[in-house]
Amino acid sequence: MSDTPIARGPVAVSPATVRDGWEVDARVATGTLTLSDESPLAKVHVRAPFDGASRAALGVGFGRTARADLGTGEVLVVGSGPGEWLVLGAPNTAGALRAAIEERLAGTGEFTTVLDLTHGRGLLRLTGREAATVLGGVCAIDFGDAVTPDGTALRSSLAAVVTDIVRDDQGGTPSYLLHVERSSGQYLADALLDPGRPSGLEVTGFRGLA
């Protein structure tokens, strides 16, 4: 038996497989509307002045997202709140990503904090043409293209859970990353699966940022 520890996300998986040191769902959905647990992604939280040099260094402001390479491969930088950023990267890169962000912000002269939240937070991805309809059933936000286009980031109550909602389309298909406290991950997954089943919502395995 291997002594290598296996990390687990907040959502129960069955059947399970191991990928990048994480236990993930082995299912591969065949439908066009899917929900996956993306908790293995590195999650680094940054706090800095709202509109200062750190914002320029990170390359994105409040409410928007950008793809970038901070030295650890492609990451998604999310302006998740006023003076807050969430940086998502490949599994097992959190330490290197945190160091790269600290190095980038070191020359700004601003007070900043950079924290690795990878194992303390849950991250789901809802993908498909009907994704906005499913989200609209548990949230009062208008998820239409005119109001929340690709690259939008916002924080709202989703099924009564405070959630960072990030639109990150995949190959032209609407896709939403949902970032929550780890303890709320299973509840949120269930809250989406129930109203999503009439639209054919299926659970699928870890997808990653690509």
Q: Where are the domains of the chain?
A: 9-40+120-203, 42-119
The pLDDT value recorded for residue 3 is: 67
Please say whether the beta carbons of 22 and 69 come within 8 A: no
- How large a percentage of the chain has pLDDT more than 90? 96
Task: Give the residue-averaged pLDDT of 147-162.
Answer: 97
On whether the 42-119 domain is CATH 3.30.70.1400, my answer is: yes
The pLDDT value recorded for residue 1 is: 44
pTM: 0.96
Fold of 9-40+120-203: Gyrase A; domain 2 (3.30.1360)
Q: How confident is the model at residue 126 (pLDDT cuts 50, 70, 90)?
A: very high
